[in-house]
Amino acid sequence: MKKYFKIVLIFTLLVNFGCNTDNFLDEQPRGRQQLDDFFSSEENSINFVNSIYQKINGESWWQVTMPRQINDMATDDNWSGNTLQPRPDITGIAAYNVFPGSTYFNSFWESHYIGITRANIALERIPEVAMDDALKARLLAEAKFLRAFFYFELVRSFGGVPIVTTYTELLEPAINDKVRASVEEVYVLIKDDLVKSIEDLPSKSSQASADLGRVTKGAAQSLLAKVYLTTEEWKLAKNLAFEVMNSGEYSLETDFANIYQTGHYNGSESIFEINYFTNLTFSEVGNGLPITNGSRGDQGWGWGSPTSDLENAFLSEGDNIRLQSTIIKHGEPVFGDPATTSFDGAPDENKSGRTNRKFYIPVDERPVPYQRGTIALPYIHIRLADVILMHAEAAYFDGDEAAALNSLKSIRDRVQLTTDMALSGEALRDAIWKERRLELALEHHRLFDLRRQKINGVPRIALLMGPNGSFVKYNTEISTDPFETTNLQESQDKGIFFDINTHLVWPIPPEEIQLSRGNITQNPGY
């Protein structure tokens, strides 16, 4: 019996004292770095700032880039396009029958704020890191630029939005009680961030080749110019745009067709772009727009199909150079793609049988698999032509018609169009606006331009859309386009439901209203 007792005793002692309970209870998660230990090196700081860049176009989240496409669909440049799959959260919005709960608005809102929080963490933690001071200043300036970019996207889309500028406030319960800041307050923040970032950002020419694609002083100046243009601070816009134009850092591509090319990174005209690349090992590092925007007859989803109205705008200027690099038409060869002699625009499924050439990938340049997130086509947010036209517009409204004309001319010269140097007054203004439409067509600028540009105080979008809008009238009464008038699965009267009291901003996502317990209020009319 004693023998057994000893066995029991030994067993018990082993079991109870074999474990050290302090170690036993101190379990750290495996396989992940922790935030508080992370900001310890230069490399980690750079990596963290890189992740802010990821949010410019939504990372792997294709729904985040869709609102930019939807923005174009809600103008006179694009149809919703995909008539096989009429969706309330895309087609409805394009028609100004707006579904506030659209996943795309929701994702856009959420993703941009994730970017803002990444920037806020970087701005709060990087100053404590022991590293090269110049690099530190640059990284902080990059974070500031990107935060401004995110807020600018949000304020243009939704109007006044809640402002979060620090990371620490996220840790307090009061973070749940934020309300929407005014539009003006958001712009104050944006301008402040951009002005500060300009001080510490490098010029493009001074960047190491591995850093090309990171934001530059020129990018910050250009973005700030656009902000001033939006807030109608003409002189500031004009001067900043002029500074960029004369910085010697950028020049127009000689051939318009070179602007959008796979693998053509940070070209001479490019000021701020996403350097999408192909690497099948890592998902979603490439561009997805060639797929989502592509023809349903060509492995695309068909969202966004250029209008005959846009084509007519090119034709009225005799602008074939830009037309062939902007619009592909069903049954015709594709400019710059010798492999495609008769394009399948699937007019039964794509409203206009037309596709955006700027996001089209010639067949021989397509990766296998050819799918979202694999395509090495850069996405250009700001290029020099945009800045020159900003300058033209700002100069015009600042009363400097000569400067405006010169800028207009430099854009037209590239595509071998003559410029009437006698243009003045509203005719000059309209010419600049039209030039902006043709030059930047289908590059996702149009909606914000049309909301910003006003005639007698009325935003131009309101003149195009609504029951008496010129674009609606054109489609319902004038157009004889063989594709658009036969595929009626997307209604010809797109835009008829436009209401100026509601549709100058998009709705706040209902989810955010619920999550904020009603503190975040909806825009009127939604």
Partner 1 sequence: MKHSILIVMSILFFGFSSAAQNVVKGTVKDEVNNPIPSVSILEKNTKNGTTTDFDGNFSITVAENAIIIFNYLGYKVKEVKYTGQKEISVALEPDVAQLDEIVVIGYGSVKRDKITSSISTVKGSELAKQVASNPAEALQGKAAGVQVLSAGGNPGASPQILIRGITSANGSTPLIVLDGVMLPSGTSLNFLNPADIENFQILKDASASAIYGSRAANGVVLITSKRGKEGKTKISVDITTGIQRLDKIEMADANEYMQVINQRRTNDGNPSLYDPSTIATDTDWWDETIEDFAPITNANVSVSGGSDKVKYSSSLSFFDQQSNYTKGWYQRVTGRFNFDFKLSDKLTISQDLSPRIERYENTPGLLYNLLRIDPLTEVYLPQSQRTGNIFSIYAPSNNLVPNPVGIVARQFNETMFFGMFTNTKLNYKITPDLTFTSQFGLNITSSRTDAFSPTYFTNPNQQREINTVFRNSSQRFDYVINNTINFTKTISDNHYMNFLGGILYDAQNSNYLNASRDGVPSDEDPLLRYIDAAVGERIVANSNESQRNIFSGIFRGIYSYDNKYTINGSVRADSSSIFPEENKTGVFSSISFSWDIDSEDWFKSETINNLRLKVGTGEVGNDNIPVTARFFQIGDGNFGFNGDRTVTNFLSAFGNTRLKWETVRDQNIGLDVAFWNNEFTVSVEAYKKTSEDLLFAVELPNYTGVPGRVWQNVGSFESQGIDLQLGYNKTVGNFDIGLNLTLSTNESKAVAFAPGNEQLLGQKREDLGNRFIKVTELGQTVGLFQGFQTLGIFQNQTEINSHSSEDGSIIQPNAQPGDVIFQDTNNDGSLTDEDMTTIGNPFADFYGGFNANIQYKKWYLSMQWYGTFGNDVFNYPSTFLNSGIQDVNIAKGTIDRVWTPQNTGAQYPRLTQQDRNGNYLRPSDLFIEDASYLRLRNIQVGYDFTLPGFQKCRVFLSGQNLLTLTNYPGFDPEVSGGGGVIDGFGVDYARNPVAKTFLLGLNLSL
Question: Interface residues for partner 1 in 257-316 (CB under 8 A)?
Answer: 263, 265-266, 274-277, 279-282, 285, 296-301
Site pattern 151..180 for partner 1 (x: CB under 8 A): ----------xx-x-----x--xxxxxx--
Are 48 and 38 contacting, i.e. CB atoms less than 8 angstroms apart?
Answer: yes
Are 490 and 79 contacting, i.e. CB atoms less than 8 angstroms apart?
Answer: yes
Task: Report which of 337, 364, 338, 342 is spatially closest to residue 353, judged by C-alpha positions.
Answer: 342
Interaction between residue 516 and partner 1 (CB under 8 A): yes
Judged by beta carbon, residue 120 or residue 453, the one nearer partner 1 is 120
Interaction between residue 95 and partner 1 (CB under 8 A): yes
The structure tokens listed for 318 are: 């005799």
Residues numbered 63 to 92 that lie near partner 1 (CB under 8 A) are: 84-88, 92
Are 375 and 367 contacting, i.e. CB atoms less than 8 angstroms apart?
Answer: yes
How large is the angle between the packed helices 384-397 and 234-245, nearest 10 degrees? 140
How far apart (Å, rounded) are the C-alpha atoms in residues 66 and 108? 8
Judged by beta carbon, residue 258 or residue 277, the one nearer partner 1 is 277
Tokens 């939807």 locate to: 70
Residues numbered 426 to 485 that lie near partner 1 (CB under 8 A) are: none
Q: Give per-residue burial for 401-438: e unless 16+ CB within 10 Å, then b.
A: bebbbbbbbbbbebbebebeeebeeeebbebbbebbbb
Q: Which of 363, 427, 458, 515 lies at the binding interface for partner 1 (CB under 8 A)? A: 515
- Classify residue 316 as exposed, middle or buried by CB count within 10 Å of its CB (0-12, 13-18, 19+): exposed
Q: How far is the CB of 502 from partner 1 (least distance, A)?
A: 11
How far apart (Å, rounded) are the C-alpha atoms in residues 216 and 380? 14
Q: How far is the CB of 409 from partner 1 (least distance, A)?
A: 32
Interaction between residue 370 and partner 1 (CB under 8 A): yes
Judged by beta carbon, residue 86 or residue 336, the one nearer partner 1 is 86
Task: For residue 282, give Cα distances in angstroms to 59, 278, 285.
Answer: 12, 9, 6
Interaction between residue 517 and partner 1 (CB under 8 A): yes
Q: How far is the CB of 76 from partner 1 (least distance, A)?
A: 20
Cα Rg, the chain, nearest whole Å: 26
Interaction between residue 494 and partner 1 (CB under 8 A): no
Q: How far is the CB of 88 from partner 1 (least distance, A)?
A: 6
- Could you give the 3-state DSSP secondary structure of residue 53? helix
Are 318 and 417 contacting, i.e. CB atoms less than 8 angstroms apart?
Answer: yes
The structure tokens listed for 453 are: 């540009």
Q: How far is the CB of 312 from partner 1 (least distance, A)?
A: 24
Residues numbered 6 to 65 that lie near partner 1 (CB under 8 A) are: 8, 11-12, 15-16, 19, 21, 24-36, 38, 44, 46-48, 50-51, 53-54, 59-60
Judged by beta carbon, residue 316 or residue 514, the one nearer partner 1 is 514
Q: How far is the CB of 7 from partner 1 (least distance, A)?
A: 8
Q: Which of 81, 100, 304, 469 lies at the binding interface for partner 1 (CB under 8 A)? A: 100
Size of the site for partner 1 (CB under 8 A): 114
Q: Left (φ > 0), alpha (ψ -120 to 50) or beta: where does 456 sit?
A: left
Beta strands in 156-300 (DSSP E): 270-274
Q: Which of 419, 497, 500, 504 lies at the binding interface for partner 1 (CB under 8 A)? A: 497
How far apart (Å, rounded) are the C-alpha atoms in residues 291 and 284? 13
Interaction between residue 106 and partner 1 (CB under 8 A): yes
Q: How far is the CB of 474 from partner 1 (least distance, A)?
A: 19
Residues numbered 179 to 238 that lie near partner 1 (CB under 8 A) are: 209-214
Judged by beta carbon, residue 174 or residue 422, the one nearer partner 1 is 174
Interaction between residue 120 and partner 1 (CB under 8 A): yes
Residues numbered 378 to 437 that lie near partner 1 (CB under 8 A) are: none
